Structure 1
Amino acid sequence: MNKSTLQKIHNLIKPYIHRTPVLTSKLLNDICEAEVFFKCENFQKMGAFKMRGGVNAILNLTEEQKSKGVVTHSSGNFAQALSLAAKTLNVKAYIVMPKNAPQVKKDAVKAYGGVIIECDSSTKARETEAARIQKEKGVTFIHPSNQDHVIYGQGTAAIELLEDYHDLEYIFTPVGGGGLLAGTILAANHFSNGCKVIAGEPKEVDDAYRSLISGNIEKNETSNTIADGLRTHLGDRNFPIIKEHVEKIIRVEEDDIIKAMKLIWERMKIIVEPSAAVAFAAVLKEKTDIKNKKIGVILSGGNVDLSNLSFK
């Protein structure tokens, strides 16, 4: 993957996405003892960065594939992204969602025209049900994070951030399935002068952290984190990129996530979901090593279940 190809991808999806704002906060800069620039993908269409990858994946289908439709499995944000992208491009979307996915995300998928098929919350259950739909309907499976066109699309958030602030020294992202992290790495490699990429990950689901240590894709035994969008694991398309290029993965506790989320809500006056707060939680944990640096943080989404807030 080269710079010109990534730029073409960005140009291709521009008509279908928002160029989201970058916000700053003097108070949060003081707390972090660094200059922090927040790329607000919570203001993206459908409320998360995943619209970028969903649109790019569908745009790269053949006309025959588009006519038959697509299927994915997701706990929420990619479910919404693919549903809205499919509706925008006049393609039918089947969405496999775990029964315990936030109701606000299920409601949004339905509003965007996605056909929901519920399953148990395990990764195996999601994959099995998606494979069944793919076979029965003859539709194309689009993975939420482990598919090249999805990864490249997700990287456009960092391209925009680096176009606005070309001298960033670090970009922090959350990591769950690895699509955003891998895409951000590709963008940083081609659109910056040595900007390093660091990921934040909930300690309760630290498969990416363990995968870096072992050199193999590790799985999680539990999904016990408020960051519901990060309960998935890395894939064979994004892990090699992450393994070779990520600077480090920082594990954060559940209390760290809640603290970071509260700071963003209270001080920046914007709504982010727990998964998005994980990246800023990693910044707060790493503050000694990033003192006086210029830091980008991708706030990945803002789809919060207001009936089940993580803090009071």
Structure 2
Amino acid sequence: MAVSLHWFISLIFAISFTANASDSLVEKRIHDERTTSDQPFVLTPHNVNYILATYNDSPNIEPFREEAELRGYEPSLDNFEIKFQVSVKFPIMYNVFGDNGHLFMAYTNQSYWQINNTDASSPFRETNHEPEVFMMFNNDWKIAGLTNSLLGVGFVHQSNGSYSERSRSWNRIYGIAVLDKGSFALRGKIWWRIPEDEKEFEDAPQGDDNPDIDDYMGNFELTAAYALDEQRFTMILRNNLDKPNYGAMELTWSYPIKDNLRLYTQYFYGYGESMIDYNTQTQRIGIGFALNDIF
């Protein structure tokens, strides 16, 4: 992943120099959100909302093995899954500090459904919950030809709502910066994990379920988005530079079909696609539909 980071940064600079300076992706997103934020029957998208038919070449069976064997059957997972994400936010208050500072609450749900695994009653293998509260500030700094249009800070909790040996969770404080130039946008995000107490014994319900999660999920994330006519391309790179062999990369492409509905493809490679797989390398490809295009 260390090589990928250098390549990613070089790509960012190459795209930023060729990006169309008009029709800012970020300005359009902010305008659309403010226009609909006070409408009572409108939910504002936060992250991308999508549903995908996906293929994972090596599903992680280990978290389910012990319970299955205790019940007397051999655990099995299908390579094929339905993966979907629902992500919305709600503006609590605009202009907290005079003419700036916008406070939001948000919730993201990401689920993995073993729809064809009828032997196991087609279960939801994993569901991740991610509530957060954050404040964004409008900005106009110029950096390397890009406009630093947004700065923000927030708190986020992420967990899979499971129990015992399958429980995963962490809490973070993060900072975020969005830079853009017309058809190109870049979001940088860094975070600090709030420490948890160690478990008194291995199966204790209290204490840290995943003390090494920083090694795999990293401590920063870079997201690049590029518009080519109606097409949208994104690349996400997540890493911890102290553990450069871990981390993750996600690539997406989308194209409008009708109104807000977009054809959406996604490729993921690395660690931490979901909480249950935070320390397992995953390679997944999927195709489906999305309702919004970037970030």
Q: TM-score, normalised by structure 2?
A: 0.26
The structure whose RCO (Cα within 8 Å, separation 6+) is larger is 1
Specify which structure has the higher proportion of strand: 2
Q: TM-score, normalised by structure 1?
A: 0.25
Larger Rg: 2
Specify which structure has the higher proportion of helix: 1
